[in-house]
Structure 1
Amino acid sequence: MKNIADLFCQRKLQKMLSQSLSYSAIATAGIVASVIVSGKVNAQTPQPVNSNEIVSYAQAVLAMEPARQQAFDEIKKLMGDREIPKIVCNDSKSISTLPKKAQDIAVNYCKHSQKIVEDNGLTIERFNKITVDLQNDNDLKRQISNTLIRIQNPAKNP
């Protein structure tokens, strides 16, 4: 009987971890968008996000997260007790406020993130547009969250 209870708890923990990672990745997308903005979001006719873009977006966000966390940790060490300012890749003023070594880390992260987005089949402009849409579209948020869960748990979601 104990094995069944252990199995139930283990599955529940795995589900909670997957959901937590998904929500974390979505939150990261919002942060990343403010970090890798390199073009203005088009204010023209809204273009719906298709399923391929949802998968590409989710893959890009997951691929960026380890590099984002590492860059943040390195900058935090360099900054010490000082507050880390908001870093926007296409805003040289936001980067120039950092110490030189932190500037290098931020620039490298921005370049790396842009490459990840493009390697996943999106332009920076489209990635940023999806991120903005995600803030106000619960259906899109749900679709991306479900895709993140599927990507992180491929064995459970054929």
Structure 2
Amino acid sequence: MTSASLLGGWVPGLVATPTAWSLSHGSAAWAQAKPAPVTAEEISNFVRSALSMEPMRKQAVQEIQTVMNQVPTIRCDLPDGFTSLEPRVRGVAIKYCNASKRIVETNGLTVGRFNEILMVQRKDEKLRDRIQAETCRISPDVCK
């Protein structure tokens, strides 16, 4: 798995699809202003968060697929949308969203900053390369 596939679709607002979750927790304001430069420490914190969340995301998708054929879009920043989910799916989504938020914060980022880095790296090849290099440094097996 490459870091590009790892980072391809999720963020702590998580939009969940079988291959992706997005974890927004209400951070739309950052999209309107120019983001602050991303430091080396933030890249490390971002990668550690992403690597920690990925197994949980996969597990959540698998659990949801045992209940439903198609994984619905799940956004952690829109908890009202959880009410329309089947109760077992709602429980999985809530558990994932809460855990991913804790992971990001434990790694020294806010959910807003995590999402900001995620969005910026999609357009900024240099940042994406820095994230890739840090991913390979922290978890060489991911880059094989």
- Structure with the largest fraction of helix: 1
Match of 1:39 among 15, 26, 49: 26
User: 2:47 maps to which residue?
Assistant: 58
Question: Are 1:104 and 2:86 matched, yes or no?
Answer: no
Task: Give 1:33 deviation, angstroms.
Answer: 4.5
User: 1:141 maps to which residue?
Assistant: 128
Question: Are 1:128 and 2:115 matched, yes or no?
Answer: yes
Structure 1: distance between partners of 2:27 and 2:140: 34
Structure 2: distance between partners of 1:124 and 1:33: 6
Task: Give 1:45 deviation, angstroms.
Answer: 3.6
| 1:113-157: CA deviation from partner (whole Å, max 9, x where unpaired) | 000000000001100111110111111111101111111139xxx
Mark the structure with the bigger radius of gyration. 1
Count residues in correspondence: 131
Structure 1: distance between partners of 2:78 and 2:13: 10
Q: Secondary structure at the match of 1:108?
A: helix
- What RMSD, in angstroms, separates the aligned Cα atoms of the two structures? 1.7
Q: Secondary structure at the match of 1:31?
A: coil
Q: Which 5+ residue runs of structure 1 have no aligned equivalent?
A: 1-19
Structure 1: distance between partners of 2:84 and 2:132: 34
Question: Are 1:73 and 2:52 matched, yes or no?
Answer: no
Amino acid at match of 2:121: L
Percent identity between the aligned chains? 34
Retained in 1: the 8 A contact 2:67–2:89? yes
Q: Output the TM-score relative to the length of structure 2.
A: 0.83
Q: 1:127 to 1:58 in 2, by over 3 A?
A: same
Q: Output the TM-score relative to the length of structure 1.
A: 0.76
